[in-house]
Structure 1
Amino acid sequence: MSFVKTVFVSCFAALLILAATGCSSSGKGTNDPSVQTNEAAKPVTLTMYFKCFAVSDDDFARDFAGPVSRKYPHITLQKIDCTDANQFNQMIVAKELPDIIDDGITNIPILLDMDVPTDLNELVRKYEFELGAITPQILQFFKQFGQNGELYSLPRTQNVFATYYNKDLFDKFGVAYPVDGMTWDQYIELAKRLTVVERDSRYYGLQMGYFNRLQTQLSLPFTDPATGKALIQQHEGWRSMFSVFQTIFSIPNNRPPAAGVLYHGLNRFTKDRNVAILPDIFIGQAMDQFNKEGIGWDIASFPVFADKPKTGIGVFANGFVIPKTSKHKEEAFQAIAHLLSPEVQAEATRNGNMTVLDRKDIKQNFLENSAVYRGKNIPAFYYNNVAEPYITTKYDLVASNAYTEALRQFIFGSKDLNTVLREAEETANKAIASERAK
């Protein structure tokens, strides 16, 4: 795919939150690049571009620039904000790529098509960065984007998921609150009791976010890495996933008003306030308005499939990429290594950016600094395990678009599941063939 034809793609996760890596002590007593390098500490400014999300100036100073400058006074981090869809392509044309890119891991194939990422393995070896400190599923997912063992990105923070629920609606209809460990079937039974139409008011029992939440929970691949062909008919899990959506939205009066807003459960929950249950991504400060208005709410663990207890959502993460064009790769890696150190990650986790380090003691401090979530069931966010990674290919986005539309048609149309899956596979394969021909 030529870069001039590449379209800016937003993160699969969609809101904030990224992913973390860590370093721990080596046999030499340190994993600190500043100790292991003999280079003079010359002042340098590193540009850091946030490719698919916004980071406020205050958060950047707190979570990025501040920690780096305290560790390395000679390194200054400068933030580049995302401004529009063509910005990154314009950077490439102008030969003005940043020193560090913070981007969703599933966007790596796009960067590889543009020949942007540096293979970080040499820097990892030079500075004895211990990859084993990272949660295994996350590291495995990041590694698979290198066809021959390359490592193009280091994870920084993982997105977490839980079930948000409106306590006021549960109280209104006399339904007991959910608890951690509940299955999809159990939540569907609650939704039946919480989906109510009263005169001019309509209450939805359970609404959903984007469909890739369940896709990763079931570790479902979009395409075959050997053939590039769509796999929606070959994996029984896709049928299970479509069936769950169908069951939820077959509850009388629980289906959204239009196919176009099928995945907009977040808006109905936070803005319309007429949704009792929302299993979705961590939505951060959005819940502050509930607190201000005195609306009762809490969280429980994300629903699981009965045959996969404690298997939560898969890897949703952003990572650090160092472009090949950077003139400061060594300093960029030093900065990244410190941002991924246990001490920095521990503070980031307390601020609401969940670490990817395989450290229970750090995860247990999630949101410790958040007034919004004070008194809430925060352990629900890390109650489940991360699902095993699905196998990715460069055509996942193309197939995903076809599957997304197919699920909309299934929920709002009249075709049976077999027909929908067959047509989705045909559509995906045609789109993949077209992409290959470019």
Structure 2
Amino acid sequence: MILWKKCAILLSAVSVLAATSACSEDNRAAEEPKDSGNELRKKLEEPTELTVFSLESPDGWNQKYEEYLKRKLPQYKITHISQTESSRLEHLLSSGTHIDLYIANARSVKQQYISSNVALDMSNLVKSHQIDLSAFEPEGINQMTSPEGAGGLYGLPISNYTMVMYYNKDIFDKLGVPYPVDGMTWEETYELAKKLTANSGEKQYLGFWISPKHYLRTNQLSLALVDPKMEKASVTSEEWYRLFDTIFKKFSDITAFRERAIKAWPSHDAFNVTQELAMYVMQSSWLMAAQESLSKMNFDMVAMPTFKDKPKVGVQAAYTYMGVTSMSQKKDQAMEVIRQLTSEDYQMEMSRLGVMTSLKSPAVQQVYATNTPFKDKKLNMQAVFYNKFAPTAPITAYDEFVVEDGLEKTQLRDMVKGLTDLNSGLRKAEEIANQKISTSK
């Protein structure tokens, strides 16, 4: 997610939006519909046209949403706009493009949609459309509505993901190391990683790696990247040091891994392409995103390792939301789209395809990934649900300056390569991020 600078084009776009939607900070909540139940049903049955904006590719939109919506709402013509470099939110607003719905996570809602007055508090729409919020995982609602999240009901969760540890069974077998199991601690994983970082004569194997950006955004200790009150980067606390020491430093101190990191920074290709990586912590959704290459591997998955004093606590939830915009002139019809995509019928269909549900229904969770290329591999799919989610850390508009600029691009790499110590690296990351934050204001 990219922080939108408060530039002239966005200010102009907000003005256009304000004129179009006549909304303000005080009246973002949708007005209580005056329609009776019969009138609402009649309205929803009439032909209508809606526009959705999201990060989804055209193929992703078609596969995840369009096919289902065409079956359930054939009277609706829904146009999808994919975000590209030339079609970002501020570009659409400044050009007067009308959107009725958006798909985003809570961080993007807070960074982009609220600040540009596109977001709408959907509390009244949820009530009039009789959507039962208790059907959702509680954290899915809390992450959007809490002060630490987006601060209002600006969307309903339509999917989720966690992080799991994928492992290459062939490497374990070749080196004679027992497979990992659900419920392992980071210390136990480190001991495995040392045994698995070995040279077979044909290939140098690496024991463990993790996707840094995905982990830092949803870290297990629920640590804020930016102090929400001070609006300053905040990654030099004892707990942040503990996290970096446990997740990054110990594993990168293994000599062969450090040599590899210096030569070429490891990515997921080391697991599913070159197959030199034995264990890899990555998003659960990667199972489907990389299904072509993963389906050719002898692999499995277990729950992500946990801190010893926080057993069965995984990362924070990473929900994807769909929200009705303040500019929409067809809010009820837009809400019907959301109702369909949060139904147990849709969630069951997506769960079978390997999309983690936003509902707390055990029946939906139990069919996870049962209709995928992996259905006959007898993978440990329930590893996705083994850990509980960590509480949501405060979200700010500046988080990516810490993740991307302060850590991922420079200081994390220097720490892993042994070019700087943890304390110095974390202090420098704060300095870089704070400079970016200051410039953006």
TM-score by length of 2: 0.84
8 Å CA contact retained: 1:399, 1:432 = no
Q: Of 50, 54, 58, which residue of structure 2 is paired with 1:50?
A: 54
SS at match of 1:409: helix
| CA displacement at 1:333 relative to structure 2 | 0.5
| CA displacement at 1:36 relative to structure 2 | 7.7
Q: Which residue identity does 1:105 align to in structure 2?
A: A
Cα 1:211–1:149 shift into 2, 3 Å: closer
Count of residues in correspondence between the two structures: 403
The equivalent residue for 2:434 is 429
Q: Which residue identity does 1:102 align to in structure 2?
A: I
The equivalent residue for 1:396 is 399
- The worse-fitting range, judged by mean Cα deviation, of 87-96 and 62-71 is 62-71
The equivalent residue for 2:305 is 303
Cα 1:416–1:389 shift into 2, 3 Å: same
Cα 1:87–1:222 shift into 2, 3 Å: closer
8 Å CA contact retained: 1:97, 1:325 = yes
Q: Which residue identity does 1:90 align to in structure 2?
A: H
Whole-angstrom distance in 2 between the partners of 1:290 and 1:147? 34
8 Å CA contact retained: 2:219, 2:316 = yes
Q: Which residue identity does 1:424 align to in structure 2?
A: A
The equivalent residue for 1:14 is none
Cα 1:414–1:284 shift into 2, 3 Å: closer
| CA displacement at 1:280 relative to structure 2 | 1.0
Q: Deviations over 1:339-363 (max 9, x none)?
A: 1011211111111111111222211
| CA displacement at 1:46 relative to structure 2 | 1.6
**1:337 equivalenced with 2:342 (yes/no):** no
Q: Of 225, 229, 238, which residue of structure 1 is paired with 2:228?
A: 225
Cα 1:272–1:149 shift into 2, 3 Å: closer
Q: Which residue identity does 1:104 align to in structure 2?
A: N
Q: Which residue identity does 1:418 align to in structure 2?
A: N
Task: Give the alignment of 1:98-177 within 5 angstroms.
Answer: 98-108=99-109, 109-144=111-146, 150-177=152-179
Q: Which residue identity does 2:230 align to in structure 1?
A: T
Whole-angstrom distance in 1 between the partners of 2:263 and 2:315? 24
Whole-angstrom distance in 1 between the partners of 2:125 and 2:208? 47
SS at match of 2:212: coil
The equivalent residue for 1:182 is 184
- The worse-fitting range, judged by mean Cα deviation, of 339-348 and 80-89 is 80-89
| CA displacement at 1:99 relative to structure 2 | 1.8
**1:362 equivalenced with 2:364 (yes/no):** yes
8 Å CA contact retained: 1:68, 1:76 = no
Cα 1:350–1:93 shift into 2, 3 Å: same
Whole-angstrom distance in 2 between the partners of 1:34 and 1:194? 63
The equivalent residue for 1:15 is none
Q: Of 254, 257, 260, which residue of structure 1 is paired with 2:260?
A: 257
Cα 1:46–1:261 shift into 2, 3 Å: farther
| CA displacement at 1:256 relative to structure 2 | 6.4
Cα 1:83–1:181 shift into 2, 3 Å: same
Q: Which residue identity does 1:99 align to in structure 2?
A: D
The equivalent residue for 1:352 is 354
Whole-angstrom distance in 2 between the partners of 1:63 and 1:34? 30
Cα 1:177–1:47 shift into 2, 3 Å: same
Cα RMSD, aligned residues only: 2.6
| CA displacement at 1:250 relative to structure 2 | 0.8
Cα 1:408–1:347 shift into 2, 3 Å: same
Q: Deviations over 1:257-288 (max 9, x none)?
A: 346964x4311101111111111112224244
Q: Which runs of 5+ in 2 are unaligned?
A: 11-35
8 Å CA contact retained: 2:161, 2:319 = yes
The equivalent residue for 1:276 is 278
- The worse-fitting range, judged by mean Cα deviation, of 408-417 and 386-395 is 408-417
Whole-angstrom distance in 2 between the partners of 1:206 and 1:134? 34
Cα 1:72–1:414 shift into 2, 3 Å: closer
The equivalent residue for 1:10 is none
Q: Deviations over 1:148-172 (max 9, x none)?
A: 9532222110013211111111111
**1:407 equivalenced with 2:408 (yes/no):** no
Q: Which runs of 5+ in 1 are unaligned?
A: 7-32
Q: Which residue identity does 1:411 align to in structure 2?
A: V
Cα 1:147–1:350 shift into 2, 3 Å: closer
- The worse-fitting range, judged by mean Cα deviation, of 170-179 and 321-330 is 321-330
SS at match of 1:197: coil
8 Å CA contact retained: 1:354, 1:366 = yes
Q: Which residue identity does 2:233 align to in structure 1?
A: A
8 Å CA contact retained: 1:145, 1:151 = no
TM-score by length of 1: 0.84
Whole-angstrom distance in 2 between the partners of 1:37 and 1:190? 59
Whole-angstrom distance in 1 between the partners of 2:223 and 2:345? 35
Cα 1:158–1:3 shift into 2, 3 Å: farther
8 Å CA contact retained: 2:144, 2:152 = no
**1:289 equivalenced with 2:302 (yes/no):** no
SS at match of 2:199: strand
Cα 1:3–1:434 shift into 2, 3 Å: closer
Whole-angstrom distance in 1 between the partners of 2:342 and 2:399? 28
The equivalent residue for 1:23 is none
SS at match of 2:313: coil
The equivalent residue for 2:91 is 90
| CA displacement at 1:62 relative to structure 2 | 5.5
- The worse-fitting range, judged by mean Cα deviation, of 107-116 and 68-77 is 68-77
Whole-angstrom distance in 1 between the partners of 2:147 and 2:86? 24
